Amino acid sequence: MSNKFEYYGHVENLTGADVIIQAGEHYNFKKFLAHSEVLKDKSPYFRVALSSTWAKREDEKIILKKPNVSPTIFCIILEYFYTGNLPLDQHDGLTIIDLLIASDELLIVHDLLGHIQDHLINVKTEWLKENFSTVLHVVFEREACKDLQNYCMDKICWNPKIIFDSVDFLEFEEYILVALLKHDNLQIEEIELWDYLIKWGISQLRQQKEYLIEDLKVDLDENSPPLNDINDLSNWDKRDLQDLGEILKDCIPLIRFSEFSIGEFYDKIWPLKDILPSELKQDISLFQKNLEIFPKSILSPRKPIISINSVIIKPKQASKIPDWIDQVQLNSQINSAIYDDPSFGPCFGKTDLDMRRQFNEENCSAKKRCYKHTITNTSKFAVDDYEVFQVLCHTPLKNLNNLCSSPKSDLLLAGIPNQSPNESGIPQQHDTEFVNQQHTNHS
């Protein structure tokens, strides 16, 4: 245990320090000397913890133990309290997340939390992408992290598979899944969402049965089907299906059954009818027999984030474009004023002047961060309409197929607004296809 005290502020003020903060535990432990008035001024948490009712004293100093906050994090917090400095660029993403957690616990919810969230969103963008699930769990538990919550939900709504295809999706807590399913803007086919939900439920049921085996020291019936194979669900006995339904009881009503075709309904839903709440089961059956009947228990279809006036591409198809851009490994650096963000779609500007459409608002923002001259309007504002075009190459449509044999990969999206398939040269009898264009030269 180290006896070394660390402090911030002027040396002449050290004699007035009356608090010893013991941060961390075991080998990661350090003592900090601080002033109670400074701590109380910066945080309502310290106003309570250092009050006469709660404070513990030794040798006329208040002793405050915080084993769940590492010395590194407390050092950053104290530096911020005493100097106003917050050198986030000197720390990695995980340290900044730990700082966010500690700031929320210590009720430092104003400037500090705002700076942390802004830094993660605008500077640690790649780290957020690589550690998205970790960040999601942290911010969903904390009401003060609204900026990061909105950022994460925007990402998920545009590209839900960053969550549903993640390695730890099956370990997600139910409250996160419920929050996602409640959103009207998830850009994913409902049949896919149903499959993901069933997989998640099976994983939870498997864990329950494993715990039961461990606790009771008994084996499952050897005739029980494997719980990790969705294709065998129709062979489960009624009790297993009811157990699965109990696990998913808060999630199933959030599925938009109004989006299922009759074929999807009888192929995917009806074999698992025993997991449905009885009232919902009846309403779904009536709805599939007569689509003009819309019971209250069946939610309306999800809304597209973007409205596309096109006979070529549907909104949910458009939401997949960012995935394809990632697959062809286009340059992710934002080096032009107009660009296509993988999560937000067409955008203009970055950092100071940021124009993009988020799922929950259509506002833009201007922030004074790195421009020399002051921005006139730093508040949020709305843009009536704008269009973004990027020319990747100039090639006649008739030669498009000939480009697909070249070695380099790029993405060509061609749209002719307000035209019928015949006018745009696309045969009516064919479904829409996107071309992953191969070419070597841009012109």
Q: Is the pLDDT of residue 114 over 60?
A: yes
CA-wise closest residue to 50 among 41, 70, 59? 41
Residue 286: the pLDDT is: 80
Sheet holding 353-354, edge to edge: 353-354, 363-366, 381-382
Q: Is the pLDDT of residue 31 over 60?
A: yes
Instruction: Tell which wins on pLDDT, 305 or 115.
Output: 115
Q: For the full predicted model, state whether its pTM sits above 0.85.
A: no
The residue-averaged pLDDT of 234-241 equals 79
State yes or no: pLDDT of 99 exceeds 90: yes
Q: Which residue has the higher pLDDT, 442 or 149?
A: 149
pLDDT confidence of 345, banded at 50, 70, 90? Answer: low
Instruction: Answer whether residue 16 shows pLDDT above 90.
Output: no
Write the CB contacts of 253 (distance below 8 Å, at least 6 apart in sequence): 277, 280, 297, 299
Given this model, what pLDDT does residue 303 score? 83
Displacement of CA 334 from its chain's centroid (Å): 21
Torsion of CA 389, 391, 396, 399, to 10 degrees: -120
pLDDT at 55: 82
pLDDT the model gives residue 156? 92
Q: Which runs of E-coded beta strand occur in 280-371?
A: 338-341, 345-348, 353-354, 363-366
443 versus 122: the higher-pLDDT residue is 122
Q: What's the rounded Cα separation, in Å, for the pair 208 and 202?
A: 10
Tens of pLDDT, residue by residue over 59-72, are: 889 999 999 999 99
pLDDT of residue 8: 56
Any bridge partners for residue 361, and if so which?
358
Percent pLDDT > 90 in the chain is: 37
- Lowest average pLDDT, out of 168-172, 188-192, 266-270, goes to 266-270
| DSSP-assigned letter for residue 355 | B
Q: In CATH, what number does 5-159 get? A: 3.30.710.10
Q: Which pLDDT band holds residue 111 (cuts at 50, 70, 90)?
A: confident
155: Cα within 13 Å, side-chain hemisphere = 21
Beta strands in 37-163 (DSSP E): 56-58, 61-66
pLDDT band at residue 204, thresholds of 50, 70 and 90? Answer: very high
pLDDT score for 97: 97
Does pLDDT of 110 surpass 70?
Answer: no
pLDDT of residue 278: 85
Tens-digit pLDDT profile for residues 400-426 = 344 333 433 344 444 434 434 333 333
* Percent of the chain whose predicted confidence (pLDDT) is above 70: 59
Tens-digit pLDDT profile for residues 267-301: 888 888 889 988 888 888 788 777 777 777 888 88
Task: Quote the CA–CA distance of 277 and 208 in Å, as a whole number.
Answer: 21
Query: Is the pLDDT reported for residue 144 higher than 80?
Result: yes
Average pLDDT over residues 356-377: 50
pLDDT at site 438 = 35
Q: What is the per-residue pLDDT for 36?
A: 92
Q: How confident is the model at residue 223 (pLDDT cuts 50, 70, 90)?
A: low
Per-residue pLDDT of 42-64, as tens digits, reads: 999 999 999 888 888 888 899 99
Instruction: Tell whether the model's pLDDT for residue 378 goes beyond 70.
Output: no
Q: Where in the chain is the domain with CATH 3.30.710.10?
A: 5-159
Q: In sequence order, which residues have a C-beta less than 8 Å from that of residue 378 and are 6 or more positions away?
A: 366, 367, 368
436: pLDDT strictly greater than 80: no
219 pLDDT above the threshold of 50: no
Q: Quick one: pLDDT at residue 70?
A: 96
Indicate if the pLDDT at residue 186 is higher than 80. yes
Higher pLDDT, 6 or 70: 70
Mean pLDDT of the chain: 73
pLDDT at 260: 87
What's the pLDDT at 15?
Answer: 72
Q: How confident is the model at residue 363 (pLDDT cuts 50, 70, 90)?
A: low
Higher pLDDT, 223 or 36: 36
pLDDT at 74 over 90: yes
The stretch 320-340 carries a mean pLDDT of: 50
